[in-house]
C-alpha cells in the first residue's frame, strides 16, 4: 500500500484527524500507539472549575463519560474478524505486530475476535476503545451497504473512492482499498433495519469534522457505521443505537466528551449519563463546530480544567 510498516499504526489511529486537527484535544503527549489504547482525560485536579452553585465533581463526570466497566453494545464479535482476515481486508500478522511494537499487545479476547471469532459481547472500555475503532473501521469499510455505494462517499469522491481518510488511510490489508470497499456481505440487513441505520447514521456526528456518519469519510465515521450496522442486524432499536453512539463517541473522543459533560452539568443542570443521546451525538455537541463552540464557552466561563490536552496529529 506504499506505507512503511513503522508508520501504519499512526495512520490507523490518526487518519480522521486530517480533516479536523484543531478540534481534537483528547489524546496528547504519548506515542500514537500507546495513546490510542489509553485515552487520557486531562482533569489536572480542576477543583477551581465550578458553576455558580458550587464545585464540579470532575471525577464523577469522568466516570459518567468513560465508565470503568465500559458500555455494553448488546452484540457479539461473531465471525467478522476471521472473515475480514480471510478476505484480505485485515492483514492479521501486520495488525498484531503493530500493537506489539507499540507496547500494547492485543488481549486474548481481541486475538480470538480477530483470528477465530468470538461469542463474547462487545463491551467498549478505556482499554479497548481504539482496538474497536480499528476493528469496526474494517467492518464499516468492507461491508456492502448502499450508504457506501450510493451516498455521499461516492458523490464526493470525484471518481476516486480512495481519496478519503477512511479509505486511503486503511493500510493494514493484503489488497488495495479499492478492492476492499463495500465488497463483502458481512452484515445482512432487512429494509427496516437499513432504514434504522440510515436514520441514526444521519444524526450521529464526530468532533473531528462536520460530517455525520452517513458520510463516513474518516476512520471514526466508518467505524461507527460498522457498529450501527451490526447493532441493527441484531434488531437494536434506534434508541439503543443512539445510546451506544453516545458512549462510543465518548470513548473515542474522551476530552470532548468530558467538556460536554461539564457543559451539561454546569450550564444545563443535566448529568451526562441522563442527557438525551440524540442531542449529545448531534451537531450542536458532537460535530467539530459544536464541540469547538462548547470548548470556547467553557473557556470564557472559566469552567475548563486548568490545562486541557491540545490537538494531536498523525506526525507525533
Chain centre to alpha carbon of residue 181 = 19
Question: Helix, strand, or coil here: 184?
Answer: strand
Please tell me the total number of residues recorded for the chain in this structure. Answer: 316
**The pLDDT value given to residue 12:** 43
Average pLDDT, the chain: 83
C-alpha separations of 281 from 21, 141, 312, 315 in Å: 19, 21, 21, 28
- The larger pLDDT score, comparing residue 81 to residue 25, is at 81
Q: How confident is the model at residue 254 (pLDDT cuts 50, 70, 90)?
A: very high
- The larger pLDDT score, comparing residue 43 to residue 65, is at 65
Where in the chain does DSSP place strands (E)?
A: 50-51, 54-55, 71-78, 118-124
> Which residue is associated with the grid cell 463519560?
65
Total-model pTM: 0.83
Question: Helix, strand, or coil here: 289?
Answer: helix
Q: Which residues contact 210 (CB under 8 A, 6 or more apart)?
A: 283, 287, 288, 289
Q: How confident is the model at residue 304 (pLDDT cuts 50, 70, 90)?
A: confident
* Residue 193 in grid coordinates: 433495519
Torsion of CA 51, 57, 61, 63, to 10 degrees: 180
Q: How confident is the model at residue 58 (pLDDT cuts 50, 70, 90)?
A: confident
Whether the CB-CB separation of 66 and 126 falls below 8 Å is answered with yes
Each residue of 219-242: pLDDT tens digit? 999 999 999 999 999 999 999 999
Each residue of 195-225: pLDDT tens digit? 999 999 999 999 999 999 999 999 999 999 9
Q: How many CB atoms lie within 10 A of CB 198?
A: 18
Cα 228 to Cα 209: distance, rounded to the nearest angstrom: 19
Low-confidence winner among 36-45, 117-126, 209-218, 255-264 (lowest mean pLDDT): 36-45
Q: Which of 234, 235, 238, 201 lies closest to 220 in space, CA to CA? A: 201
Ramachandran angles phi, psi of 157, nearest 5°: -80, -20
Each residue of 4-18: pLDDT tens digit? 333 343 334 333 333
Q: Which residues is 143 bridged to in the sheet?
A: 184
Query: Does 161 have pLDDT greater than 80?
Result: yes
> Domain coordinates of the chain in residue numbers?
15-66+251-301, 71-250
Cα 110 to Cα 101: distance, rounded to the nearest angstrom: 16
**The pLDDT value given to residue 305:** 63
Residue 242 burial by CB count (10 A; 0-12/13-18/19+): exposed, middle or buried? buried
Helix residue ranges per DSSP H, 90-190: 92-101, 108-115, 129-142, 146-150, 152-155, 165-168, 177-180
Amino acid at each position: 500500500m506504499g506505507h512503511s510498516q513503522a508508520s501504519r499504526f499512526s495512520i490507523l489511529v490518526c487518519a480522521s484527524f486530517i480533516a479536523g486537527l484543531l478540534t481534537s484535544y483528547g489524546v496528547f503527549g504519548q506515542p500514537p500507539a500507546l495513546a490510542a489504547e489509553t485515552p487520557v482525560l486531562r482533569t489536572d485536579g480542576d477543583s477551581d472549575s465550578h458553576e455558580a452553585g458550587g464545585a464540579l465533581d470532575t471525577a464523577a463526570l469522568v466516570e459518567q463519560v468513560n465508565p470503568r466497566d465500559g458500555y455494553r453494545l448488546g452484540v457479539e464479535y461473531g465471525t467478522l474478524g476471521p472473515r475480514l482476515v480471510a478476505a484480505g481486508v485485515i492483514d492479521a500478522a501486520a495488525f498484531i505486530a503493530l500493537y506489539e511494537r507499540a507496547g500494547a499487545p492485543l488481549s486474548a479476547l481481541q486475538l480470538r475476535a480477530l483470528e477465530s471469532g468470538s461469542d463474547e459481547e462487545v463491551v467498549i472500555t478505556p482499554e479497548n476503545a481504539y482496538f474497536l475503532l480499528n476493528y469496526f473501521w474494517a467492518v464499516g469499510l468492507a461491508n456492502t451497504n448502499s450508504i457506501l455505494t450510493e451516498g455521499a462517499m461516492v458523490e464526493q469522491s470525484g471518481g476516486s473512492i480512495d481519496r478519503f481518510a477512511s479509505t486511503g488511510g486503511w493500510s493494514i490489508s493484503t489488497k488495495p482499498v479499492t478492492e476492499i470497499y463495500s465488497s463483502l456481505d458481512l452484515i445482512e440487513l432487512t429494509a427496516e433495519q437499513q432504514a434504522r441505520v440510515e436514520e441514526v447514521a444521519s444524526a450521529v456526528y464526530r468532533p473531528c469534522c462536520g460530517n455525520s456518519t452517513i458520510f463516513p469519510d474518516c476512520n471514526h465515521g466508518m467505524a461507527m457505521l460498522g457498529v450501527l450496522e451490526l447493532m441493527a442486524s441484531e434488531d437494536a432499536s434506534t434508541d439503543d443505537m443512539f445510546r451506544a453512539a453516545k458512549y462510543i463517541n465518548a470513548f473515542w473522543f474522551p476530552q470532548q466528551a468530558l467538556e460536554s459533560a461539564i457543559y451539561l452539568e454546569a450550564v444545563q443542570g443535566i448529568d451526562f449519563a441522563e442527557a438525551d443521546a440524540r442531542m449529545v451525538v448531534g451537531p450542536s455537541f458532537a460535530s467539530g463546530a459544536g464541540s469547538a463552540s462548547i470548548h470556547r464557552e467553557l473557556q470564557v466561563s472559566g469552567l475548563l480544567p486548568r490545562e486541557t490536552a491540545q490537538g494531536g496529529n498523525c506526525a507525533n
